[in-house]
Amino acid sequence: MLGVAKTADSAVDFLKDFGITETNLNDNVRLLAETNSRYLRDIKINVNNALQAVTLVKKEAYLIALAVAVNEKNPLLENVFSKNARAEGATDEELAEIISCTSLLNANNIYFRFRHFMKDDYYTNAQAGIKMSIMANPILGKELFELVSLVISAVNGCELCVTSHEKTLLANGTNKQRIHDAVRLGAVIRSLSVLV
């Protein structure tokens, strides 16, 4: 592949497992492969480890990965993780809710990050005025919806939302290892999105 050393070939080959063909590779990945970058091996290990976390079933892992791909506006990864989630039993309704949740969290993360930055009583006490009906009775179930919300909030850097979703998850019995694994998955998929 790409006429480079075997180490880079095998590291790039993992993208094929996700349905990313050589023709879909961008210049960033090509450059890393051509220079036999060790980072390609690292990203391969990171993605595989994060997607195989024992606290997340495959469908959940792929749905979380899809949320990050949607958040990062990466159509290639959106397609890959939608297909993988469907293969693990995700319904169109669940996929649609992942997209909706990600969109909602983008509004919330900006709004609540602003309130947190300002540290002003007026903004802190003002009504958000952001409709959030999908949070009331999510198709994904409350726990997975909160987990996705936490991951997207972490990716978007909203401290207030991250702490709020983590508190809700812990109060409802989610263990810290599952939270950690989900956020790590979000971080790793975000880094993959930068490459592809």
The model's pTM is: 0.92
**161 among known catalytic residues:** yes
User: Which whole number is the average pLDDT over 62-69?
Assistant: 98
Angle, CA of 11, 85 and 33, to the nearest 5°: 15
At residue 63, the pLDDT reads 98
**101 among known catalytic residues:** no
pLDDT digits (tens, 9 = 90+) for 91-130: 999 999 999 999 999 999 999 999 999 999 999 999 999 9
pLDDT digits (tens, 9 = 90+) for 25-53: 889 888 888 888 899 989 999 999 999 99
C-alpha 64/C-alpha 68 separation (Å) is 6
Is the C-alpha dihedral spanning 131, 136, 140, 146 positive or negative?
A: positive
Domain boundaries, the chain: 1-51, 53-195
Q: State the catalytic residue, choosing from 104, 148, 161, 169.
A: 161
- Architecture of the domain made up of 53-195: Up-down Bundle (1.20)
